[in-house]
Structure 1
Amino acid sequence: MNKLTIFYDGTCPLCVKEMSALIKRDKSGHIKTVDIHSDDFVNYPNIDPTQANLVLHALDDKGLLLLGLDVTYRAWQLVGMGWLYAPLRWPVIKPVADKLYFMFAKNRYRISYLLTGKSRCESGVCRR
């Protein structure tokens, strides 16, 4: 069974919105999301919270660590929409897409503000 546990920033409005969209489409229950600011995160001592706050992290069902756009692609693949993100993993596009992803991750609060009017979720944590 293909499972994926995604560790995301629950204080980022865009991050929460994407996780909510994934869970809504995950009819088979393949994806578990864990807010790195939640009490549940202590159950994953092998995931560095500082690094997980910089780059999206996930563990697959074999314990393999995925990072950044590899997480995004795998997650959307599990809900039947991987084709949308597949081009971002093509060898000729991957290096550029990864650089753009890191720029987004570093500036996600500013980008969230521009797109949603909120840079961070109220009271520190967004609710799905």
Structure 2
Amino acid sequence: MSNSTSSYPLTLYFDGSCPLCLSEMTNLRWRDAAEQLRFVDVSVPGFASPLEGVSVADLMTLMHARTADGRVFIGVAAFELAYAAAGLHQIAAAIGWRGWRWALERLYPFIARHRQRVPKAVVNLVFGKALRSAAQQATERRCDATSCAYPVPLTRPEAGLESSTSPMIPSPINTPSRSAP
């Protein structure tokens, strides 16, 4: 898979009503130091697909990504580009391994079909450590001697969580250790 500069920014179309999807997109967002990713929650009421020939139902079925030059990638190929953009090159490379990719391309549609059934406890088990690590890395990258800019987690307003389209929220440093609030 080519990771040319015409691929970025890469827009990811994801199901924000899915805890598994939301956790993975949050993980990618926090790791996206080069700010090469854009995130679009296709589950919001009234959403209309911006991709020609791709319905909202299609976007809700499998992950889609659109490159800066307009190419569309679906499923495993979309994740491969997203991981590369977020600096997770080892994961992106592993996805590209012939035997592994063959398996992932058969497994991903099954996982996508049943993603809403994955218990939140399992999502936290799978992504909890990754999200904490990503948040720490993001904090360290975006802090200086006087302030920090923390990534805004992708959230769901109907769940009572504030949502923001801003990629960063400026926040003063409260402790010398620069730990996240």
1:37 aligns with 2:43: yes
Could you tell me which of 6, 9, 20 is aligned with 2:12?
6
Alignment of 1:1-128 (within 5 A): 1=5, 2-38=8-44, 41-42=47-48, 44-46=50-52, 47-113=54-120, 115-116=122-123, 123=158
Larger Rg: 2
**Per-residue deviation at 1:110?**
1.1
**Per-residue deviation at 1:127?**
6.1
Aligned residues: 125
Structure with the bigger RCO (C-alpha within 8 Å, sep 6+) is: 1
Query: Tell me, which stretches of 5 or more residues in structure 2 are unaligned?
Result: 125-155, 164-181
**Per-residue deviation at 1:37?**
2.0
Query: Quick check: 1:34–1:40 contact (8 Å CA) kept in 2?
Result: no
Query: Tell me, which stretches of 5 or more residues in structure 1 are unaligned?
Result: none
- Tell me, in whole angstroms, the C-alpha distance in 1 between the residues paired with 2:65 and 2:41: 11
Counterparts in 2 of 1:10 and 1:107: CA distance versus 1, 3 Å: same
SS in 2 for 1:37: coil
Matched to 1:52, the amino acid is: L
SS in 2 for 1:92: helix
**Per-residue deviation at 1:114?**
5.8
**Per-residue deviation at 1:34?**
0.2
Matched to 1:27, the amino acid is: A
**Per-residue deviation at 1:20?**
0.8
TM-score of the two chains, using structure 2 as the length reference:
0.60
Task: State the percentage of identical aligned residues.
Answer: 23
Query: Quick check: 2:64–2:73 contact (8 Å CA) kept in 1?
Result: yes
TM-score of the two chains, using structure 1 as the length reference:
0.82
SS in 2 for 1:77: helix
SS in 2 for 1:33: strand
SS in 2 for 1:16: helix
Counterparts in 2 of 1:98 and 1:124: CA distance versus 1, 3 Å: farther
**Per-residue deviation at 1:125?**
9.3
Which protein has the bigger helix share? 1
